[in-house]
Chains A and B, each alone.
Chain A
């Protein structure tokens, strides 16, 4: 049970009674639960606060801290939605600016920040925005999240290289935002790539994530328009030791060896832009690599279990590296099997992607499974929407992806058909708006 959005609740005070009119969606989650009953903060099932909260995110498998279960704090040193324990659902959108007017973009960022802070707290876009205002005007909140809890919603913003070019801010553009090279086997669709701005909404309820993006997009009409978007229905990474490792659509556990929120030194080394990395406004920020990776799952499904495991380098059931017995056993890349061959094949995915093979480079992966219907030829348009946060994509993502693209046997079953790179500014402090430092 967790905090619920109310037309007039604030993070500090308990919500008041909803207006007498029932929302037309009847969005009470079924079973006749009143919104009032959903409001209770008591009975919070999250008992996993602990060390996580100290480094600035809400801990727990379903997010949320002890004060506001299900509410991930919006303002902090870093943006939420990066080391926040990966939520179950994603709605990601890339937008292009339709203006070159810097002041107009700043105004939009201010409006977005206000709305994002409210929505992540489980509130409507504006107070009473869905049904409580002038009935002759369109509601300021679209309403589909009425009665739903905050659901650990996080909203994370990033800026693509074209953002700086359009606004004449090239002198503020980080060098790390240089275009990604093309990789062997890439089949990138321009309509699923790039974008001036990205918004990542993650939540434990898909409707809450979609509601957030929908309302932010709406606020952007006239200043920014959607270039592409992606829904993800299930997380493929754990970003906290408190989480189980989920499975991707190949049926394998994914993200066992991921960077975790409980490893602050690793995060500083691999995720957060450090002082001196430059530019200054990015300190405390990160870089987000997004890749839409179509999986040819029908072909994969015809592959023997043994071959699947050899390709990945892990067992499918337990998820142990083929050099060990348990999921979290450290992969021993030097280990030999009974036949004298490497236990983890020389072209196995986990070997090619390992930190050992890349001077210790690691990425915080935060991807999502997707199925976007079918492709018209009887196959599911399914795969992994890969999201990774890194301190420097050029020295972390690029060498790893190059190795995978050239050598990974798994590539036979994959097609990268979307790609984007964004600079993710640091978190917002009181009174600040998203990306404010960039305009200072």
Chain B
């Protein structure tokens, strides 16, 4: 949650609610795909802990269907990326032994990338994927903008779906009194929250309950709840008699969020501004160590904010490329620079070092890289509306 005033939050929510009713042509879903696709049946993906075997490396443009089976021991994800890691489609949180279907609309032929992410971390196990020909689609800017918002809406939907599951694991550990496990799961659950934070935050009543800080001003009688309350219990005070109740409430709020997100209609400007706001969050909340002041797991949130920002920008990429061909490569480079910097702070177990382990030189480097990235990101809203 950002440290904005309640008035700002309300204004943000109002803007979102009043968002232009762009008609979002449903392009992709993670639901059951319709029958056979152009290429003749779904492409099978065998996702193990060490490999990502895709049964075809080429498909004709149009709707492409994948069936992803997790044959490994870690929870995995599968992505189809376009240029600049634009997410064409993804399916998250596939448990060991489970199969999930993914339907992706790819209207343009060209070079794409498939990726499995065992353990749901890192760049994943990647392979090139070619799409041939061109499917009928809207080629004008409005069509591309509609695709962009639809694509990002898919992203938000999949992230909140994963959030529901991951948050449940976290709250279950809290309720079981398993402090060590709950501590390990806290930053994992927050990853999905932080990726879509501007959208989640737009629900002005949910955000203070879920992500408020202890020192926020509240109406009389309104308690300190949500992630940071549980964080404080786990790291500072020890579990309290009502910790389980707080955990249940967080679960309920996450489910509420998921149901509300389904009806959100986003505009391209909101997408672009959301990408910028996520970097603002990094600058004011994470690089300062403000957000996770008890657990000091701020770099997890940092990473998730950047990923969420990149997803929103990637969704807009075709429009950006059309209007300002120089901006996309700059964005790619700056996102890559931030990612490279952050990867230097990984711990052997795939997590991140604690904020308290960072030196002033470290945080200066982080601030520099986020400044460098946020400037071109801040140009995107203007570019896509030009």
Interface, chain A (partner B; CB < 8 A): 98, 133-134, 136-138, 218, 221-223, 225
Contacts of B372 in A (CB 8 A): 98, 221-223, 225
Q: Is the CB of B371 within 8 A of A221?
A: yes
- Let me know if A134 and B382 touch, CB within 8 A: yes
Q: Closest 7 A-B residue pairs measured CB to CB? A: A137-B382, A222-B372, A225-B368, A136-B385, A221-B371, A221-B375, A134-B382
A221 to B378, CA, bound (A): 12
Does the CB pair A222–B379 fall under 8 Å? no
* Partner pick for B371 among A133, A136, A225, CB 8 A cutoff: A225
Nearest CB of A to B209, in Å? 31
Please indicate the chain B residues that have their CB under 8 angstroms from the CB of A133 in the complex. 382
**Additional pairs, 16, CB under 8 Å, beyond known A136-B269, A218-B375, A223-B372:** A98-B368, A98-B369, A98-B372, A134-B382, A136-B382, A137-B379, A137-B385, A221-B374, A222-B371, A222-B372, A222-B373, A222-B375, A222-B376, A225-B364, A225-B371, A225-B372
Q: Which residues of A contact B386 (CB under 8 A)?
A: 134, 137
**Cα–Cα, bound, A98→B341 (Å):** 13
* Smallest CB gap from A134: residue in B: B382
Q: Would B382 and A138 count as touching, CB distance under 8 A?
A: yes
Is B383 interfacial (CB-CB < 8 Å)? yes
Q: Which of B272, B376, B381 has the most CB of A within 10 A?
A: B381
Indicate if B334 sits at the interface (CB-CB under 8 A): yes
User: Which residue among B334, B367, B368, B386 has the maximum number of chain A CB atoms within 10 Å of its CB?
Assistant: B368
Shortest Cβ distance from residue A320 to the other chain B in the assembled complex, whole angstroms:
48
Q: How far is the CA of A218 from the CA of B375 in the complex (A)?
A: 8
- Tell me the chain B residues, 263-304 only, with Cβ under 8 Å from chain A: 269, 272
In this complex, what residue of B is CB-closest to A224? B368
Q: Return the contact of B381 from the options A98, A137, A221, A223 (Cβ within 8 A).
A: A137
24 A–B pairs (Cβ distance < 8 Å), ordered by A: A98-B369, A133-B382, A136-B269, A136-B382, A136-B385, A137-B379, A137-B381, A137-B383, A137-B385, A137-B386, A138-B378, A138-B379, A138-B382, A218-B375, A221-B372, A221-B374, A222-B371, A222-B372, A222-B373, A222-B375, A222-B376, A225-B367, A225-B368, A225-B372
Residues of B within 8 A of A138 (CB): 378-379, 382
Cα A225 to Cα B372 in complex, Å, equals: 9
CA–CA, A412 to B85, complex, Å?
61
In the complex, A133→B371 CA distance in Å? 22
Interface residues of B in 348-386 (CB under 8 A from A): 364, 367-369, 371-376, 378-379, 381-383, 385-386
Interface of chain B residues 175 through 198 with chain A (CB within 8 A): none
A218 to B383, CA, bound (A): 18
Q: Chain B's nearest CB lies how many Å from the CB of A427?
A: 29
Task: Tell me, in angstroms, the Cα distance from A317 to B378 when the chains sit together.
Answer: 54
Task: Note all chain A residues with C-beta closer than 8 A to B369.
Answer: 98
Residues of B with C-beta under 8 A to A222: 334, 371-373, 375-376
- B272, B334, B372: which has the most chain A beta carbons within 10 Å? B372
Give the interface SS of chain B, mostly helix, strand, loop or mixed: helix
A contact residues around B368 at 8 Å (CB) = 98, 225
Say how far B61's CB is from chain A's closest CB, in angstroms: 32
Residue in A133, A136, A138, A218 with the greatest tally of chain B CB atoms within 10 Å: A136
Docked pose: A134 CA to B375 CA in angstroms: 16
B385 contacts across to A, CB distance below 8 A: 134, 136-137
Tell me which residues across on chain B come within 8 A of A134, comparing CB atoms.
382, 385-386
- Assess whether A136 is in contact with B375, with CB atoms less than 8 Å apart: no
Is the beta-carbon distance between B381 and A136 smaller than 8 angstroms? yes
A65 to chain B, nearest CB (A): 36
Q: What's the minimum C-beta distance from B91 to chain A, rounded to whole angstroms?
A: 33
The complex places the Cα of A379 from the Cα of B351 at a distance, in Å, of 45
Looking at the assembled complex, report how far the CB atom of B385 sits from the nearest CB atom of chain A, in whole angstroms. 4
Q: How far is the CA of A222 from the CA of B338 in the complex (A)?
A: 11
How far is the CB of B322 from the nearest CB of chain A, in Å?
Answer: 16
Chain A residue with the shortest CB-CB distance to B378:
A138
Kindly state the separation between the CA atoms of A133 and B379 in the bound complex, as whole angstroms.
Answer: 12
Closest to B386 in A: A134
Q: Chain B nearest CB: distance from A193 CB in Å? A: 15
Chain A nearest CB from B233 CB (Å) reads: 34
B residues within 8 A CB of A221? 371-372, 374-375
Which partner residue on chain A sits nearest B385 by CB separation? A136
Task: Tell me the complex Cα distance, A110–B281, Å.
Answer: 32
Once bound together, how far apart are the Cα atoms of A218 and B371, in whole Å?
9
B373 CB contacts on chain A under 8 angstroms: 222
* Bound CA–CA A225/B334 (angstroms): 15
Please, which residues of chain A bring their CB within 8 A of the CB of B378?
A: 137-138
Q: A311 CB to closest chain B CB, in angstroms?
A: 37
- B residues near A218, Cβ cutoff 8 Å: 375
Query: Of residues A137, A138, A223, which shows the largest number of chain B Cβ atoms within 10 Å of its Cβ?
Result: A137
Provide the bound-state CA to CA distance between A138 and B385, in Å. Answer: 12
Question: What distance in Å separates the Cβ of B39 from its nearest Cβ neighbour in chain A?
Answer: 40
Query: Which one of B367, B369, B376, B382 has the highest number of Cβ atoms from chain A below 10 Å of its Cβ?
Result: B382
Contacts of B371 in A (CB 8 A): 221-222, 225
- A190 to B374 CA separation, bound complex (whole angstroms): 27
A137 vs B386: C-alpha distance when bound (angstroms): 9
A139 nearest in chain B by CB position:
B382
**In whole angstroms, what is the CA distance A262 to B114 when docked?**
71
Question: Which residues from chain B contact A98 at a C-beta distance below 8 Å?
Answer: 368-369, 372
How far is it, in angstroms, between the C-alpha of A222 and the C-alpha of B331 when the chains are bound?
A: 11
Task: Give complex CA distance A223, B386 in Å.
Answer: 26
Residues from chain A with Cβ under 8 Å of B374 in the complex: 221
Task: For residue A138, give the distance in angstroms from its CB to the closest CB of chain B.
Answer: 5
Report the bound CA distance from A408 to B334 in whole Å: 51
Complex Cα distance, B376 from A218, in Å, reads: 11
Chain B nearest Cβ from A227, distance in angstroms? 9
Bound CA span A378–B369, Å:
36
Closest B residue by C-beta to A218: B375
Distance in angstroms between the alpha carbons of A134 and B381 in the assembled complex? 9
Bound-state CA distance A221–B381 (Å) is 18
Report the nearest A residue to B333, measured CB to CB: A222
Expressed in whole angstroms, the minimum distance between the Cβ of B371 and any Cβ of chain A is: 4
- CA distance in complex: A136, B386 (Å): 9
Smallest CB–CB gap between A197 and chain B, Å?
A: 14
Residues of chain A lying within 8 A (CB to CB) of residue B364:
225
Task: Considering the complex, give the chain A residue whose CB is closest to the CB of B369.
Answer: A98
Interface 1/0 per residue, B314-333 and A, CB below 8 Å? 00000000000000000000
**Whole-angstrom distance between the alpha carbons of A98 and B385 in the complex?**
31
Q: How far is the CA of A231 from the CA of B262 in the complex (A)?
A: 51
| Alpha-carbon gap, A218 to B386, bound state (A) | 22
- Shortest CB–CB separation between residue A222 and chain B, in angstroms? 3
CA distance A201 to B86 in the complex (A): 42
Instruction: Digitize B130-166: 1 where CB-to-A-CB distance is under 8 Å, 0 elsewhere.
Output: 0000000000000000000000000000000000000
For the complex, give the distance between the alpha carbons of A364 and B385 in Å: 51
Whole-angstrom distance between the alpha carbons of A222 and B381 in the complex?
19
